[in-house]
Amino acid sequence: MSPAGLVPVAGAVLLAPLFLGIIHRTKALFAGRSGPPLFQIYFDAIKLLRKGCVYSGATSWVFRLAPIVAPAAALTAFLLLPQGGFPALVSFPGDFVLFVFLLGTARFLTVLAALDTGSSFEGMGASREAAFSALAEPALLLCLAVAVRESGHLSLSGLVGSVTGAEWQRAGPALALTAVSLLAILLAENARIPVDDPNTHLELTMIHEVMVLDHGGPDLGFILWGQALKLWVMGALVVGMFLPGRTGSPWLDGAVFLAGMLALAVVIGTVESTIARLRMTRVPQFLVGAGAFAVMALALVMR
């Protein structure tokens, strides 16, 4: 553990909402709108933190637990993930399993909070989230298994940054398959198009948004920030795992990493602008497809 490890954690906490802002700006550009300000998520979160709270009479402490667990889990996941040239605070063999299941704990409580309201809409969202994540989780871990097999490293600190330009030349197809698969999982896990549309206005068509329909005030602020953190942490995983080029200077690597994150945000915005949302019954196929990509990549690296 070194204090320098806190720099990227603090950076992520501050920059995560901006990542969403860039996605929104990209989408606005495609649609020919001027779009919301880059810092809109900050304004929203601050506005929400200044409000009081309203709870449904049907809910219990489980409903109030979820908004705490979600950002806490994302923040804890940051402890395991090196970003840019900065090392992770905690690193041990197999830490990526903990990384994945920490996000699982947050999701489990979010699903329970949705069921706590007794609303059919939220039950529907909870049911979809549980079903889709059960498919996304194996795909994510299989992707990480590809990287483990390819690099021989057993921890996130080894996996992130292990891919160099030479590695891309040697095992390009397998890495590309894994990257596509990871990107698909990232979109699904973070409620993005083509799996879920964060901007949809009909409860029946939502997944994540409908689960947090009854949250308000500071709770919703926590949830928004937590969502942004989760998107950032998974994005940082993708960027860290596949971006070649390490200079050795943490600040320079940090800059490269931020450029990678910026590019990823633009890619996500582009995907959201150019791909239609999938029908709900097609989402499992999308996720199984991501898993199949990971299995193909495994077959390539295990030759």
- Which residues ranging from 68 to 127 are in contact with other proteins (CB under 8 A)? 68-69, 71-73, 75-76, 79-80, 90-95, 97-98, 100-102, 104-105, 107-108, 111-112, 115-124, 126-127
Q: Does 17 bind other proteins (CB under 8 A)?
A: no
Query: Considering beta carbons, is residue 24 or 230 the nearer one to other proteins?
Result: 230
CB of 15 to other proteins, least distance (A): 18
Taking each helix axis from N to C end, the angle separating 61-80 and 217-242, rounded to the nearest 10 degrees, works out to: 30
Instruction: Tell me which residue has tokens 């989780």.
Output: 137
Query: Considering beta carbons, is residue 59 or 273 the nearer one to other proteins?
Result: 59
Cα–Cα separations (whole angstroms), residue 62 to 27, 84, 118, 127, 242: 36, 37, 13, 17, 38
222 to 251, contacts with other proteins by CB under 8 A?
222
Q: Does 218 bind other proteins (CB under 8 A)?
A: yes
Instruction: Tell me which residue has tokens 């204090």.
Output: 3
CB of 198 to other proteins, least distance (A): 18
Q: Does 278 bind other proteins (CB under 8 A)?
A: no
CB of 174 to other proteins, least distance (A): 13
CB 214 within 8 A of CB 67: no
Distance CA 79, CA 91 (A): 8
191 to 210, contacts with other proteins by CB under 8 A?
203
The SS3 call for residue 23 is helix
Query: Considering beta carbons, is residue 29 or 49 the nearer one to other proteins?
Result: 49
281 to 300, contacts with other proteins by CB under 8 A?
284, 291, 295, 298
CB of 184 to other proteins, least distance (A): 16
Q: Does 141 bind other proteins (CB under 8 A)?
A: yes
Distance CA 184, CA 190 (A): 10
Query: Considering beta carbons, is residue 80 or 239 the nearer one to other proteins?
Result: 80
Residue 161 backbone phi and psi in degrees, to 5? 90, 0
Query: Considering beta carbons, is residue 265 or 283 the nearer one to other proteins?
Result: 283
Query: Given CA atoms 107, 109, 111, 114 in this order, what sign does their dihedral have?
Result: negative
153 to 192, contacts with other proteins by CB under 8 A?
154
CB 293 within 8 A of CB 181: yes
**51, 170, 279, 282: which one contacts other proteins (CB under 8 A)?**
51
Tally the C-alpha atoms within 13 A of residue 295's C-alpha that lie toward its C-beta. 8
Query: Considering beta carbons, is residue 3 or 57 the nearer one to other proteins?
Result: 57
CB of 117 to other proteins, least distance (A): 5
Q: Does 44 bind other proteins (CB under 8 A)?
A: no
CB 242 within 8 A of CB 175: yes
CB 256 within 8 A of CB 243: yes
